[in-house]
Amino acid sequence: MGEMEQLRKEADSLKDQITAARKAVQDTTLQEAVAEIPAVGRVQLKTRKTLRGHLAKIYAMHWGADSTLCVSASQDGKLIVWDSISTNKVNAIPLKSSWVMTCAYAPSGNLVACGGLDNMCSIYNLKGKDGNVKVMRELAAHTGYLSCCRFLSDTEIITSSGDCTCVLWDIETGTQKTVFAGHQGDCMSLAVSPDFKFFISGACDFTAKLWDIREEQCRQTFGGHESDINAIGVRMRKISPALLHQSSMQACFPHHFSFFQFFPNGNAVITGSDDATCKLHDLRADQDLLTYQDSSIMCGVTSLAPSLSGRLILAGYDDFNVNIWDTLKSERVGVLAGHDNRVSCIGVSSDGMACCTGSWDSFLKIWN
């Protein structure tokens, strides 16, 4: 008992020291640092294309590396690869489980992956020999739902799951290479750094962790958002036992607690949360430097994407809009309104030309 008290005191004092160290590094206010930059002015993007074809809510989308193809996943059980310029569907892949929460496009363009409440990540080969798209691998070892997946290459993929772990898989053999455990809540989202050496995972325990893929360790932990635990988000796993009856009936509540993206130079991470704010965490200063919030916005952030130069952040919200923020001045410089339901996913193409938003109204819109 006495030992525990001592240990606890030690841990607390170390935490205080860390906070002090972080404060010590704050040697300038934001206003001074960005005072000389010209303002961006109003940013107006218009809907250029609308991709119609899904029959139910769209939960995730991801651009391919060539900037015209993108893949989207919807709860009607389909994964559709679109040619966004012509709005044609290149592939429409039927899924075994319609409760899909995430999808990803491999950088090579050969593979797409998806996963959700079936606890598995299914990898599909788009360039199969006979032209059919078939399941190449089913990566099953998670004990919780799959909340996000991202390819590192054609042979490696990282997944985050509701069982509080993230896993690096070897696609060829279908086995787990590394398990990154350490979160105390469901892992809701992950983002890979531009140089593929690190990734960040965010979870329902209010924290985000930066993992080194090579060293297989957590290098940094960030806390910071003050929102109450979203009742739905945290309780996802508690809902089934509460049923008292069948637990095969699992509803889909992919309400992302936090969504992440790396800033394009790889030194910072932008996170969005249910408390209606976005924050920029700098990895080198080990704290969050900028907050993007507005008193008129009261609903949570569902998804984020930075523009190519990092000057703009596009964030999708629960109130059916996308807000565009000036990264450096923390001001809102534009709004994209056009969806009839919550914006669930957003992505900027790799050449930075266009941004695609997917929504629960079953449409994807390309803005430019």
Partner 1 sequence: MHIRCEDEIKLRKGGTSRCAFYFTHVCLFFYFVCIPSVCACCFVCVCVCVCVCVCLSPLQMEKVIVAMQDPDMGMKMRNQRLLITVIPHAMTGRDMITWLIQKYCICEEEALHISGMLVRYGYVYPLKEPRSLVLRPDESPYRFQTPYFWTSTRWPASELDYAIYLAKKNIRKQGELMEYEKERYSVLHKRINHTWDFVVMQAREQLRASKQRRKADRIVLECQEQAYWLINRPQPGAHNVLDMGLERPNNLSARVTLNQNSDFYKSEIETCRRALGRNRVKSSICLESFVKYSEQYQNHDPIMQGCLPSNPWISDDTAHWTMNLQIVPIPSRLRVERWSFSFMELLNDIMGRREFMIYLEKEFSAENLCFWQACEDIRHGESSRIVEKVEEIYKNFLTPGAARWVNVDSKTMDKTLKGIRHPHRFVMDDAQMHIYFLMKKDSYPRYLKSDLYKNLLAKAIVPQETKKSVFPFMRRQRHSSPSPAQGDGPAGADSAAGPHV
Of 54-73, binders to partner 1 (CB under 8 A) are 67-68
310: burial class by Cβ within 10 Å (0-12, 13-18, 19+)?
A: middle
HSE of 160, CA atoms in CB hemisphere, 13 A: 30
What phi and psi values does residue 271 have, to the nearest 5 degrees? -125, 150
Residue from 109, 125, 253, 332 in contact with partner 1 (CB under 8 A):
253
267 counts as binding partner 1 under rule CB under 8 A = yes
Complex with partner 1: residue 22 or 92, whichever CB lies closer:
22
Residue from 135, 179, 243, 298 in contact with partner 1 (CB under 8 A):
243
CB of 256 to partner 1, least distance (A): 14
Q: Give the dihedral of Cα atoms 258, 259, 264, 268; nearest 10 deg.
A: 10
Tokens matching residue 119: 């606890």
**Using CB under 8 A, which residues numbered 73 to 92 contact partner 1?**
85
**Using CB under 8 A, which residues numbered 180 to 219 contact partner 1?**
184-185, 195-196, 205-206, 214, 218
Can you tell me which residue has the tokens 């569907």? 89
42 counts as binding partner 1 under rule CB under 8 A = yes
Length of the chain, in residues: 368
Complex with partner 1: residue 129 or 284, whichever CB lies closer:
284
50 counts as binding partner 1 under rule CB under 8 A = no
Tokens matching residue 363: 């449409």
**Using CB under 8 A, which residues numbered 326 to 345 contact partner 1?**
327-328, 333-334, 342
Residues β-bridged to residue 336: 322
CB of 213 to partner 1, least distance (A): 9
CB of 185 to partner 1, least distance (A): 8
Residue from 89, 235, 237, 332 in contact with partner 1 (CB under 8 A):
235
Can you tell me which residue has the tokens 């984020």? 304
**Using CB under 8 A, which residues numbered 268 to 297 contact partner 1?**
268, 282, 284-287, 289
Residue from 77, 125, 212, 239 in contact with partner 1 (CB under 8 A):
239
CB contact set of 84 (below 8 Å; sequence gap of 6+): 49, 51, 68, 69, 70, 354, 356, 366
Tokens matching residue 229: 């635990």
Q: Determine contact, residues 42/346, Cβ cutoff 8 Å.
A: no
CB contact set of 135 (below 8 Å; sequence gap of 6+): 122, 123, 124
CB of 252 to partner 1, least distance (A): 8
CB of 148 to partner 1, least distance (A): 20
| Cα–Cα distances in angstroms (integers) from residue 97 to residues 75, 115, 122, 222, in the given order | 9, 9, 10, 34
The helix, strand and coil proportions of the chain, stated in percent and rounded to the nearest 5, come to 10, 45, 45
178 counts as binding partner 1 under rule CB under 8 A = no
CB of 4 to partner 1, least distance (A): 6
Complex with partner 1: residue 93 or 348, whichever CB lies closer:
348
Site string for partner 1, 135-164 (x = CB under 8 A): -----------------xxxxx--------
Residue from 55, 179, 308, 337 in contact with partner 1 (CB under 8 A):
308
Q: Name the one range near partner 1 by CB under 8 A: 93-101, 115-123, 133-141, 308-316.
A: 308-316
Tokens matching residue 343: 């914006």
